[in-house]
Structure formats: C-alpha cells, structure tokens
C-alpha cells in the first residue's frame, strides 16, 4: 500500500495533526530531526529536506508506521521511545482514514498501516501500539 503520493500532499492532508514541540539544530548532513514533544526526545527521519527545519518552537507531523495496534482498557495517554526512531504507547483514536489511524498519545501521531486495515478500531477507541523505525517527520513551514 502507498501511504503518500507526495510530501506536499501528505503535509496538506495531515497539517491539522501536527505536533507542537521544540526542534534542536541538525548536525551537518544529518537526516534526523531531534524533536522534543509530549515529554519525549524523538529522532525523526526528515522528510522535508535538508536545511529547511529551523531550531526552536515547531510544528511537525509525526508519522510512524504501526507494528502493532490493539484495543486496550487503559485510558491514559502514554508515549515512549522504544528504539532510536520507534515509538510505543497508549492513546485515543482521533480518526481513521484508509491506511491511517490518527492516535492522540500525548501528541498526535499519524500512524500508517502498510498491509491491512484494523477491523473494529474506530474514532474514540483507546489503543496500545508499537511502531517500526524510522518514524518520519514532516516539518511545517507555518
């Protein structure tokens, strides 16, 4: 399944799901954005190009690809970094779209699903999840 047609289309589609946080300066030649949001330091694969992201307060669409997604009884948002660029946690489903589940887990996460839809998961459900590395980041220019 194709999750995006272009970077521009993806940004416009999910602009309202961007997370607020702080970006740190990128080392020369790095493809990772160091983004602090939701109480976590995340290293995101920079999808918007080198030298575009500016250090400081920023809005970034955080886009992981799901490894697992299961309903849960827990109703407290949790977000943790499980590997250099992978996440796990618990959150509430904000909405679903073909190939995506948007989960509010301390920050909005635009979670992609590569090979299937998750039956029975709907807006308002609480879910636990884990993601595959790398988590992608789409920096918003305003």
pLDDT, tens digit, 9 for 90 and up, residues 4-47: 889 999 999 999 999 999 999 988 778 999 999 999 999 999 99
- CA 106 from chain center: how many Å? 11
Q: Residues 85, 44: contact at Cβ < 8 Å? A: yes
- Nearest in space to 68 (alpha carbons), one of 137, 108, 127, 124: 127
Q: How many other C-beta atoms can be found within 10 angstroms of the C-beta atom of residue 3?
A: 15
C-alpha to C-alpha distance for 37 and 58, rounded to whole angstroms: 10
pTM of the full predicted structure?
0.95
pLDDT digits (tens, 9 = 90+) for 64-115: 999 999 999 999 999 999 998 999 999 999 999 888 999 999 999 999 998 7
Confidence of residue 116 (pLDDT cuts 50, 70, 90): low
**DSSP result, 48-103:** S-TTT--SEEEEEEEEEEEEEEEE-S--S-EEEEEETTEEEEEEEEEEEETTEEEE
């Amino acid at each position: 399944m194709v999750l995006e047609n272009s970077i521009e289309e993806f940004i416009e589609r999910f602009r309202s799901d961007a997370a607020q946080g702080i970006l740190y300066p990128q080392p020369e030649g790095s493809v990772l954005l160091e983004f602090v949001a939701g109480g976590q330091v995340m290293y995101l694969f920079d999808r918007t190009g080198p030298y575009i992201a500016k250090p400081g307060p920023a809005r970034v669409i955080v886009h992981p690809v799901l490894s697992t997604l299961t309903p849960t009884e827990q109703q407290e948002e949790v977000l943790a970094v499980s590997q250099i660029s992978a996440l796990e946690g618990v959150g509430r489903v904000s909405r679903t779209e073909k190939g995506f589940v948007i989960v509010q887990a301390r920050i909005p996460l635009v979670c992609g699903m590569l090979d299937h839809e998750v039956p029975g998961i709907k807006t308002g459900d609480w879910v636990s999840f884990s993601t595959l590395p790398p988590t992608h980041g789409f920096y918003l220019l305003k």
